[in-house]
Amino acid sequence: MTTTEAPDLLHRILDYSSRSDPYPLYAELRETPVALQEDGSYVISTYREIAGILHNPHLSSDVRNLSRPMPGAEERATPSFINLDPPEHDRLRRLAMRHFGPPHTPGLVSGMAPDLTNIVSSLIDDFAGKEQIDIVDDFAYPFPVTVICHLLGVPREDEPRFRVWVNAIIDSINYDPKTDPKEKLDNGVQATKDLRQYLGGLLEQRHGHPGDDLLTRFANDDGPDGRMTDEEIISTANLLLIAGHETTVNLITNGMLTLLRHPQVLQRLRDEPDLVVPLVEELLRYEPPVHIIPWRAAYSDITVADTVIPKGSQIMLMLASGSRDPDRFGDPDRFDPDRQDNQHLGFGSGIHLCFGGPMARLETQIALTELVRRLEGPRLVADPPPYRPSPVLRGPIHLPIEQS
């Protein structure tokens, strides 16, 4: 496993024309598990190498540990825990998790199942009379947005406002100074400021007022780690708001697309609703919502597959490629909901393992179960459907379907 330069290949993957099917290019990429790029960064694409490095304490998520700073990094505000290392990462994640999952808040996610089912049912009710349904705009987008707004304590009616900011932020995630206009980056930086200011306004009203939403609970918490500062709460809320719906939209949409491409699996799901649990895991492997971790930093020299990645290097992790690695998964390009030992990289791994994973799972399980139960003879209008621009958070921008 040697390092070779394959810059063209990465650019082809990131290019929009590959969006509907990047998997053959991933297979090509995996021939060089650790690939040094022209700009000095490294791309890792095989399962064991990705899993290994995600558990490697020498890998940093803090942009300050890159020897060459990323464009726009200095303009971004207080990082959220996704962009921090221990011990700060651990403290902030702990402070957030206290109000979201076990051991301090067990049962929150599972307790939301009835509400989730109601939201899904009413969205599907609204399909009535439509000739064409857009699974994205009519379903997969409004559903998780409603859920995360409720959970965080963000007014649902503000969605049109924050949607603009979120889109600009997502657009700027994989900003490439060589190919993208500077405007794309500036828009992202400005949108981050606007969104923070908006969340700050909501937070101000929560201090001293009891309530069940996360913003209120963060603002009034006095646990063993103390309380998050307002800056930290805003960064955390910012992260949860964006990550809490952007990825789930893609997971649900990718799920419906995959089921429509595999009608026999769709029929099985109708007949055996319990199949949805392993099916969503397989979906996270086969068509995950997050394809790439765009950057991590080598805090010290890291050896991966006999390649020494020098301290300060930028490292890109191709999660979706790792989950299709034939050295780890038999027949990896087959969608098989009965797959055993399915330790996919759909939620990443290690200390940054997806915070909202349990919520995304439940949302998608309920969404797909109800869609296949209630849609009659659904079929794709276009295959492939049109995709969003991002190669990182990958999914269709629209998924029009018709019923019989």
Partner 1 sequence: MSSADTLEAFKRDGRIVIVGASLAGLRTAEALRDKGFTGSLTMIGDELGEPYDRPPLSKQVLTGWVPADGTVLPRRRDIDAEWLLGVPADGLDLATNHVHLADGREVPFDRMLISTGVRARPWFVEAEAALDGVFVVRTREDAEGLQQAMAAGPSRVLIIGAGFTGSEIASICRERDIAVTVAELAPAPLVGGLGAMIGEVAADIQRAHGVDLRCGVKVTQLEGDAQGHFRRAHFDDGSTVDADVAVVALGGIRNTEWLRDSGLAVGIWGVACDAGCRAFDLNGLVTDDIFVAGDVARCPNPIYEYRFISLEHWANAVEQAEIAAHNMLSAQADRWPHLSIPTFWSIQFGINIKSVGVPTFADEVVVTQGSVPDHRFVAAYGYQGRVTAAVSFNNAKWLDHYRQLIETAAPFPPPCPTPDTPADAKPVPVDFPGPTLLAQGATVVVTGHDPGERRVTAMRQHR
Between 62 and 180, CB nearer to partner 1: 62
CB of 404 to partner 1, least distance (A): 41
What is the nearest approach in angstroms of partner 1 to the Cβ of residue 51? 8
Residue entry with tokens 């790792």: 322
* Residues making contact with partner 1 (CB under 8 A): 51-52, 55-58, 60, 62, 65, 85-87, 90, 299-302, 350-351, 353
Nearer to partner 1, 93 or 394 (CB): 93
Nearest to partner 1 of 254, 313 (CB atom): 313
* DSSP-assigned states of every residue in 5-67: B-HHHHHHHHSGGGTT--HHHHHHHTTSSEEE-TTS-EEE-SHHHHHHHHT-TTEE--GGG-S
Work out how close the CB of 53 gets to partner 1 at its nearest, in angstroms, rounded to a whole number.
9
SS3 340: coil
Closest CA to 272 of 332, 338, 342, 364: 338
Question: Which of 191, 302 has the CB closer to partner 1?
Answer: 302
Give whichever of 58 and 374 is closer to partner 1, judged by the CB atom: 58
CB of 85 to partner 1, least distance (A): 4
**Cβ at position 50, least distance to partner 1 in Å:** 12
CA angle 376, 125, 162 (to 5 degrees): 120
Nearer to partner 1 by Cβ, of 85 and 138: the residue is 85
Query: How many Cβ atoms from other residues are within 10 Å of residue 331's Cβ?
Result: 9
Q: Between the CA atoms of 249, 76, 174 and 191, what dihedral angle is there, to the nearest 10 degrees?
A: 50
Residue closer to partner 1 (CB basis): 106 or 177: 106
In sequence order, which residues have a C-beta less than 8 Å from that of residue 11 and are 6 or more positions away?
none
- The residue written with tokens 């889109």 in the block is 167
- Could you give the 3-state DSSP secondary structure of residue 63? helix
Report, in Å, the least distance between residue 42 CB and partner 1.
17
Q: What share of the chain is helix, strand, coil (3-state, %, to 5)?
A: 50, 10, 40
**Closest to 390 in 3D by CA, of 283, 255, 291, 314:** 291
Shortest separation between residue 104's beta carbon and partner 1, angstroms: 11
- To partner 1, the closest distance from the beta carbon of 86 in angstroms equals 4
Nearest CA-CA partner of 50 in 368, 347, 374, 387 = 347
Single-letter residue type at 177: P
Q: Which is nearer to partner 1, 195 or 319 (CB)?
A: 319
